[in-house]
Structure 1
Amino acid sequence: MNTALKHWKEAATLILVAGHRPVPDGLSRTPLAVAGSNRGRSPGPPPLPHRFDYDVLMLKRSHKSGFMPNAYVFPGGTVDSSDFSSEWLDIFKHVRNFPNFAVASVKQPLETRPPIFATDRLKLGSPIPGEVAFRICALRETFEESGVLLAVSPPGETGCIPGTDFSCATNEGLNNNLNGLCNKELMKWRTLVNQNPSNFIRMCRELEILPNIWALHEWSNWLTPKARYGSRRYDTVFFICCLQETPATLQDEKEIVCFQWSTPSEVLQTFHAKKFWIAPPQYYELSRMCRLPRMSDLHKFSIQRAQEGCEQYLPVVVQKEQSMSLLPGDRLYPRSTSEDAKMNKSTDLPQEDPPDCGLHRMLLLDSYTINIQINITPKHSHLVPVVGQAIPCDLHSKC
C-alpha cells in the first residue's frame, strides 16, 4: 500500500469471465459487428462469430456511491493495508519461497513496468510483493461485492505444483464446493470481510484455504484522468480470470445493488442504448474482448499475454470539436505532465490530423457514445479493440 502517492489511490479490479448458461430457444447472443476499415480504426479480423460462449460479470454501483454512482463496473476496489499484511506469509507458507509466491513471471523489464508493479514494497514496509497483494485485493473485493470466492486448498494437501495446476481456474473451490463449506458459512465470512477487510486473512487461516492468486492474469493498468470524477483518482490494475461455469452471485445491497452476467457485446449494446452506463476503461477493455468470442481462446490468450506485462494508460482528456481522451501512442499524447497541463484548450490542438499519423484515442461524443480510434499496434502483445456499432440482442440481468 503506497501512502506516498500524491494523486492516486491504488486499486485492483477483476474481469471475471464464465461459461454462460444455455440460451433459451429464440434468443440470440450476437457480438458487435466489425466496422469497415475507416481511417483511424483497426482493420481487424473478419466479422466475429454470431455467438459468444461466455459472459462477464458487471456490478451496478449504488446511487449513493461517492465514485461513479449508478455505473456498471467490474468487481474491485481500493487496496487495504491488510492486503499487504505480513500475516499472509503464514497463509502462503507453502509457496512464499517462490518468486512472487509462484505467480507466473513477467518478461517486461522492471524499468518499464507500471509503477503499481515496479514499486519496491519492502521499502514501504511490506514483505508481500505487489504482484501478490493486488491479486489479493481483487479477490477480496470480488468476494465482498458479489459473493464469489476464488480460493483453493493449500498445495501441500493436494499435490498441486505451484505455477502449473494453479494457472487455470475452475469452479472447484467456489462457494459450497470448497472444503465442504456451506453457503451460510461463506455468507457469514462475507459479512465479516465487509465489516473489516483484515477478516479476509482470518477467514483464509481458519478455513485453511488460499486466495487463488494464480487464476488471475495481468490484463491492463488504468489511471483516473484529471478532473474526471472529482478529486477521486485511482491507479488500478485490471486482472482477468476465466471460469468454466457461472458461479452463484449475490450483490451486497450496499455498494452493489445489481449484478449482470452478459457477453461483452451485450454490455456494449446496452450502454449504447443508454440503459446503463460504463466508464471508458470498461468500454475499452470489453471492446478488446470482442476479438475473442470463444472462452478457450480468451483464456489461452490471457495466460500467454500476461507474461508480456502491460502498459500504463493515463487518459489525457482534451477538448476539440468534442471531448477527446488521448491514450499512449497517439500523436498528441503529451510527453510530460507539463505538456498535459497545457492541453486543456482547443486552441492548443491542430484542427485536423495529418495522414498516416498515430491515433490512439476515444472520442466522447456524449455520455453514451464512445468512438475508439486506433491505428497503432498495442504494446505487450495486447488486443486491438473492436470498433463498430452494436446490433440488438436479448439481455439476461438480475436487476
Structure 2
Amino acid sequence: MGSHLPQGPSIWRQAASVVLAAGWTRAGTAAAPSSPPPPAKDFRLLMLKRAASQGFMPGAYVFPGGVVDAADRSDDWLRLFAPRQGPPHFGLKPAPRPRAAFPDVAPAPDAGALPDDVARRICAVREAFEEAGVLLLRPRSAPEPAGPTRQLTCAFQPPSGLAAWRARVRSDPREFLQLCAHLDCTPNIWALHDWSGWVTPFARSSPGRRFDTTFYLCCLCQPPPVDPDNAEVVDSQWLSPSEATESFISKKIWLPPPQFYEEMSCT
C-alpha cells in the first residue's frame, strides 16, 4: 500500500469529532432530579446535516467535528489550564495509548505545543460550539478531575451575548481561547472519552479532503439546545441509533461510513 502513496508531507489532515449522547426521557414521562440515569436504550445521538454547499460530504448527517487548527495547539492554553492541570497528561489518566502508525499520517507538528490528544479534544469541543452552539466547558473553579469522568456531563449554560462570540470563533479559531478565558472556563476535555479513529480512504477523495479523525464520546445528562450555524450545517436531529439506521436504510438521511458504523456500534 505504501508504494502507491505520494511522497512528501502528510496527505491526511488531523481532525476530531465528538459523538454527543444525551439521556432521553420517554414521551409522557418526567424524570425526577434524584432519579438514576436513564437506561442505555433511552438516549439519543446528535446528528448535524451538512449544508449542500459544502465541498466535503454535502447533505450528510454527521457528528460535530472538524480539522485541528493551530489555535487548538497553542501554548496559550497552558495559562488557562494552570495551575491545576498541565503537561504531560492534563489530568487525562491513564495516559492515552499511542496511536497506531499509518503511512504518511503526520505526527503532532510541534512538540513544544499541546499534546496531540489534548489538541484534538479542544478541537472537538470548539467544533461542537461552532457548528451546533453546544458549549462543553468546565469552570476553572470546579474540583480537580481525577482523569476522564464516568459521570454524565451537563453542557455549559449558554451566557448572554454568545451569538457574537460564536461568530468571532467561526471567523478565527483563536477566539475560542478568548471566550474560555472570558467565561473563566476550560474546554471539558475530561468529559470526552476515546471512542474510535477513522482515516479517509486514499482512493475516495481528492487531496486536502482526506482526514485522520479521532472520534470521542461525550455522555450528557440531557439534550442541550442546539442551534445549527446555517453555514456548515443546516439542520440537527437527536436520533437513537436504531432511528438513524432505519432513516439511512429508507434513504431519508445519508450517513457516511464512519457515522453509520458508529451508530451501529451503539445499538
1:90-138 CA distances to partner (integer Å, 9 max, x unpaired)? 0111334453210132474x4xx2359x9764x7254200110000000
For the pair shown, the structure with the greater C-alpha radius of gyration is: 1
Higher relative CO (Cα under 8 Å, sequence separation at least 6) belongs to: 2
TM-score (norm 2): 0.85
Superposition RMSD in Å:
2.4
Aligned to 1:8: 12
- Could you tell me how far apart the structure 1 residues matched to 2:131 and 2:47 are? 11
State the percentage of identical aligned residues.
Answer: 40
The equivalent of 2:259 in structure 1 is 282
Superposed displacement of residue 20, structure 1:
1.8
Q: Secondary structure at the match of 1:265?
A: helix
In the TM superposition, 1:377-388 aligns within 5 A as: none
Q: Name 1:72's counterpart in structure 2.
A: 61
CA distance in 2 between partners of 1:245 and 1:227 (Å): 40
Are the aligned partners of 1:145 and 1:252 in contact in 2 as well (CA < 8 Å)?
A: yes
Which range is displaced more, 162-171 or 129-138?
A: 162-171
User: Could you list the runs of 5+ residues in structure 2 that have no partner in the other structure?
Assistant: 1-7, 30-38
How far apart, CA to CA, are the structure 2 residues paired with 1:164 and 1:105? 7
Distance 1:170 1:96, change over 3 A: closer
Residue 45 of structure 2 is aligned to residue 62 of structure 1? no
Structure 2 partner of 1:23: 27
The Cα of 1:52 is off from its aligned counterpart by 2.2
Counterpart CA distance in 2 for 1:51 and 1:162 is 24
Aligned counterpart in structure 1 of residue 89 of structure 2, from 94, 100, 108? 100
SS of corresponding position for 1:142 = helix
Alignment of 1:1-150 (within 5 A): 5-23=9-27, 52-97=41-86, 99-106=88-95, 108=97, 110=98, 113-115=99-101, 121=108, 124-150=110-136
Partner Cα distance (1:115, 1:163) in 2: 29
* Amino acid in structure 1 at the alignment position of 2:168: L
Deviations 1:139-198 (A, max 9, x none): 0000000000000111xx23x133258553421x5223xxxx23xx22221111111111
Do the aligned residues in 1 keep the contact of 2:135 with 2:156 (CA within 8 Å)? Answer: yes
Letter in 2 for 1:234: F
Counterpart-to-counterpart distance in 1, 2:20 and 2:135: 12
> What are the Cα deviations for residues 289-322 of structure 1, in whole angstroms up to 9, with x where unaligned?
11xxxxxxxxxxxxxxxxxxxxxxxxxxxxxxxx
Question: For 1:1-399, what aligned pairs fall within 5 Å after superposition?
Answer: 5-23=9-27, 52-97=41-86, 99-106=88-95, 108=97, 110=98, 113-115=99-101, 121=108, 124-154=110-140, 157-158=141-142, 160-164=143-147, 166-171=149-154, 174-176=156-158, 181-182=159-160, 185-231=161-207, 232-290=209-267
Q: Deviations over 1:351-377 (max 9, x none)?
A: xxxxxxxxxxxxxxxxxxxxxxxxxxx
